Chains A and B, each alone.
Chain A
C-alpha cells in the first residue's frame, strides 16, 4: 500500500519547522516516529499534501528534569522511556506504560509526543499524562502556549493543537518523595491496542492522599480523566473502603463501547478492578516498596 503523493520536507531546526508549518497551514503534517501516521497515510485515512519530518532535529530527543519539572521532547521515543532509569525509579506510571506500548520494533521509532498528538482513544500516553496532570507546550512561529493535558484532547483522534503548531515539550511536575504510580493494561496480545487500561498517580502526605490522578484508556471517545474518583481520594486515608469507592467512581466515569474486545459491562468492570489494583500498587510504591 502506498500513501497518496505528498511533498516531503526534512528541516534541520525547530525554527525552520515552524516557518514551514506556518506557510503550509492545513496542508502540512508533522512526521515524528511515524508509527501511527505512516499506517494512516497508507490506508489513505490521511493524505496531507506536505509532510514535515522532524527526525533530523536530533536535539528534540530529550528527557530531563529541570527546575522542578520533567520535560519530554517531541522526538523522545518509547524505547528510551522503556530504558530510562530516571523513569523507572521515580515516574512509575510512565515506566509501567512504556514497555506495554505496541511492540519492541515499533517502540524503537515511535515517540511519546507523536502518540499524544495522534490522540487515539486507545492510545496509552495520553492517559498517563492525564494521571500526571501534565502540561503540553504548543509552539508555532508566532509564539507558544501551554495547555493542560485535560484540555488537549477533544475527541477521537482530535486535539486542540493547530496545524501550524508542534508539541514542543511535555511538562510533568517533578516526582516528589511519597509519590507512586502504576499503569495496568489489558491487551489480547503484544502489539494490540488496550481492551482497557488504567493509569494511577498518587502523591501521599503522611498517610493521606495529597493528590490523585486517574486516567482511563480505550473506554471513551478520548483518553479520560476520572475526576470524581480523584476528588474522592483527595485528603483521604487509603483504606479498603476508600479504594473501593474511588474504583467504583472510575468505573462510572468510563464510557466503553461494546466491540470484539469485550462488552460494556466487562470493560467497566475491568476499569473498576484495575483502578483498585493500580491504587494499591501506587500506594505501595509511594511508601517505597515494589
Chain B
C-alpha cells in the first residue's frame, strides 16, 4: 500500500508514492536515481549510506523513506551542485582521502556535518566523529588529513570577506 511523501532532497521538493517499508537509501537510489549514496553492509555498521537529514548524519539504510516526509535530505550529489567541488571534495582529492572510494560519500557527509559544528577540529575529534564510517581500504590517515585540510580551506575562504573589509577600512 502506497503512502505519499514529500522530501526536500538536495534543495528540491520530491513527491512520491512509496511503500512504508521502503528504506530511505532505496528511495534515494532507486526512485530518485541518486546513486552517489552507497549501500555497504546494509546492517547499520559501516556508514557508507550516510546522508544528512535536516543537517544531521543518518544511516539511510536504517531509516524509512516515510520517516523523511517533510524533512531535508542532503546527499553527496549536493556537494558539487554549483559545478565546483565542495572544499571537502577538493580536499579528499588533494590528500588522496580515498582508495576504492566506496565509503567516500558517507565519509564526506559526516565530515561536512562535523565542520558545520566544529570548524577547527582536532585529529581526535575527526576520528571520533568518523568512527561510525568504516573504510575497508583502511585509508584513515589520509581521510583525517583531508578533513583537516578542508577545515583550513573553509576557514581561509570564510576569512576572505573579513580581511577584505579590514583592508578597505584601513
A positions within 8 Å CB-CB of B: 1-8, 10, 34-35, 38-39, 41-43, 51, 53, 55, 102-106, 108-109, 190-191
A8 touches B50 (CB 8 A): no
Q: Which residues of B contact A1 (CB under 8 A)?
A: 42
A191 touches B20 (CB 8 A): no
| Shortest beta-carbon distance from B5 to chain A in Å | 10
List the 10 shortest-distance A-B pairs measured between CB atoms, nearest first: A103-B132, A8-B20, A105-B132, A190-B131, A3-B21, A38-B62, A105-B57, A104-B132, A108-B56, A39-B44
20 A-B residue pairs with Cβ-Cβ distance under 8 Å, sorted by A, are A1-B42, A3-B21, A6-B20, A7-B20, A34-B67, A38-B63, A39-B43, A42-B42, A42-B43, A43-B43, A53-B67, A103-B47, A104-B57, A104-B110, A104-B129, A105-B59, A105-B132, A108-B57, A109-B58, A190-B131
Give a binary string over B17-35; 1 marks a CB under 8 Å from any A CB, 0 the rest: 0011111001000000000
User: Assuming A38-B62, A55-B67, A105-B47, is B21 touching A6 (CB within 8 A)?
Assistant: yes
Q: How far is the CA of A10 from the CA of B5 in the complex (A)?
A: 12
Q: Which residues of B contact A7 (CB under 8 A)?
A: 1, 20
User: Assuming A105-B50, A106-B44, is B131 touching A10 (CB within 8 A)?
Assistant: no
The chain B residue with its CB closest to the CB of A4 is B21
The chain B residue with its CB closest to the CB of A192 is B45
Q: Which residues of A contact B21 (CB under 8 A)?
A: 2-6, 41
Q: How far is the CA of A39 from the CA of B44 in the complex (A)?
A: 7
Q: Which residues of B contact A10 (CB under 8 A)?
A: 66-67, 69
B66 touches A8 (CB 8 A): yes
Q: Which residues of B contact A38 (CB under 8 A)?
A: 23, 44, 62-64
| Shortest beta-carbon distance from A28 to chain B in Å | 14
Q: How far is the CA of A174 from the CA of B122 in the complex (A)?
A: 35
Q: Which residues of B contact A3 (CB under 8 A)?
A: 21
Q: Which residues of B contact A109 (CB under 8 A)?
A: 58, 62-63
Q: Which residues of A contact B128 (CB under 8 A)?
A: 104
Which of B1, B44, B61, B66 lies at the interface centre, i.e. has the most chain A CB atoms within 10 A of its CB?
B44
B positions within 8 Å CB-CB of A: 1, 3, 19-23, 26, 42-45, 47, 50, 56-59, 61-64, 66-67, 69, 110, 128-129, 131-133
User: Assuming A8-B66, A105-B110, is B22 touching A2 (CB within 8 A)?
Assistant: yes
| Shortest beta-carbon distance from B21 to chain A in Å | 4
Q: Which residues of B contact A41 (CB under 8 A)?
A: 21
User: Assuming A38-B62, A38-B63, is B20 touching A104 (CB within 8 A)?
Assistant: no
Q: How far is the CA of A191 from the CA of B134 in the complex (A)?
A: 10
The chain A residue with its CB closest to the CB of B42 is A1
Q: How far is the CA of A35 from the CA of B63 in the complex (A)?
A: 8
B64 touches A104 (CB 8 A): no
| Shortest beta-carbon distance from A225 to chain B in Å | 29
The chain B residue with its CB closest to the CB of A5 is B21
Q: Which residues of B contact A106 (CB under 8 A)?
A: 44, 59, 62, 132
B20 touches A103 (CB 8 A): no
Q: Which residues of A contact B23 (CB under 8 A)?
A: 2, 38, 42
Which of B21, B45, B129, B131 lies at the interface centre, i.e. has the most chain A CB atoms within 10 A of its CB?
B21
Q: How far is the CA of A34 from the CA of B61 in the complex (A)?
A: 11
Q: Which residues of B contact A43 (CB under 8 A)?
A: 43
| Shortest beta-carbon distance from A69 to chain B in Å | 29
Choose one: B26, B42, B58; the contact of A105 (CB below 8 Å): B58
B63 touches A34 (CB 8 A): yes
Q: How far is the CA of A35 from the CA of B61 in the complex (A)?
A: 10
Q: How far is the CA of A10 from the CA of B70 in the complex (A)?
A: 12
| Shortest beta-carbon distance from A9 to chain B in Å | 9
B131 touches A103 (CB 8 A): yes
The chain A residue with its CB closest to the CB of B110 is A105
B132 touches A35 (CB 8 A): no
Which of A8, A51, A102 lies at the interface centre, i.e. has the most chain B CB atoms within 10 A of its CB?
A8
User: Assuming A6-B21, A109-B63, is B131 touching A191 (CB within 8 A)?
Assistant: yes
